[in-house]
Amino acid sequence: MAEAKKQKHFVLVHGSNHGAWCWYKVKPRLEAAGHRVTAMDLAASGINMKKIQDVRSFYEYNEPLLEILASLSADEKVILVGHSFGGLSVALAADKFPHKISVAIFLTAFMPDTKHQPSYVVERFSESIPREERLDTQYSIIDKSNPSRMSILFGHKFLTLKLYQLSPPEIFLSNITLTCLDIFHHKSIIIFSGKIDLELAKMLVKPGLLFTDELSKANEFSNEGYGSVKRDFVGSDKDNCIPKEFQQWMIQNNPVNEVMAIKGADHMAMLSKPQPLSDCFSQIAHKYA
């Protein structure tokens, strides 16, 4: 019974262009620490089969997350984690189900407030980033009858320099090389290394929706909902996507219970520093036990 009480349920929400796959290093670490972990794909993300053209609203995009929270038992609460654009998903979920969340963790994420429209922090961020800093990011109109429905897709250069610049090299052996070595009876072994997480992202990222126009016209998140949920912010000190200065501005704009930082992590802290991040999450879980 005591062990059951110690177990916490983490719900992990990915950012734009990504999917549940980006949590593949953190999920087993949290589970090894005794926690329950749910990582889902939002609509038209990861292996979710919905087409991006068929996602008509921010609410529809987040239906997989909202369905999970709606399915929880009356006395169950989760630790809800949102990364990057997933911070807006966390805010929406907290506004709808504040009683289901023990703490919301914003991991280098956009963190809205209850004073402005939901799009406010994203608009401020867009204004602060020069166009040339967006590199090869692609923007497309997905509905000619509604030009405001724009998609975004991170290019390889943007992924490399802005999101995954500190992803660690992984060492692996080439089966073809080993076969050749065996045939010719060579005694040496050639080892190849590469940034596997970056290459994985290049293959798996999918276009995401911005929802800026919709969210700029939406009602503010409520004080009774989102505003009543405890919040912690976890930043990365080497984040080239959402700079430390902008992270600090969001925290000043909407103060949180606690601010923690993952040293030596890029924007994808769950991949560049999975163990320190998992330890940080566990520490937060114990705090809100």
**Domains annotated on the chain, with CATH:** 9-288 (3.40.50.1820)
On whether the CB atoms of residues 114 and 222 are closer than 8 A, the answer is yes
CA distance 166 to 262: 13
pLDDT in tens, 152-204: 999 999 999 999 999 876 554 444 333 333 433 333 333 333 478 999 999 99
pLDDT of residue 237: 92
Can you give the pLDDT at residue 145? 86
Residue for token pair 């911070």: 87
Residue 53: the pLDDT is 94
Q: Given this model, what pLDDT does residue 148 score?
A: 85
Length of the chain: 289
| Active site positions, annotated | 84, 239, 267
Rounded-to-integer distance, Cα 99 and Cα 95, Å: 9
DSSP-assigned letter for residue 220: P
pLDDT at 2: 44
Which H or E element spans position 13? strand 9-13
- Looking at residue 169, what is its pLDDT? 64
> 218 is written with which tokens?
């939406």
pTM: 0.90
Phi first, then psi, for residue 39 (nearest 5°) are -120, 120
Residues of the chain short of pLDDT 70, as ranges, are 1-6, 169-194, 289
pLDDT at 167: 81
> What are the backbone dihedrals phi and psi of residue 57, each rounded to the nearest 5 degrees, phi first?
-155, 165
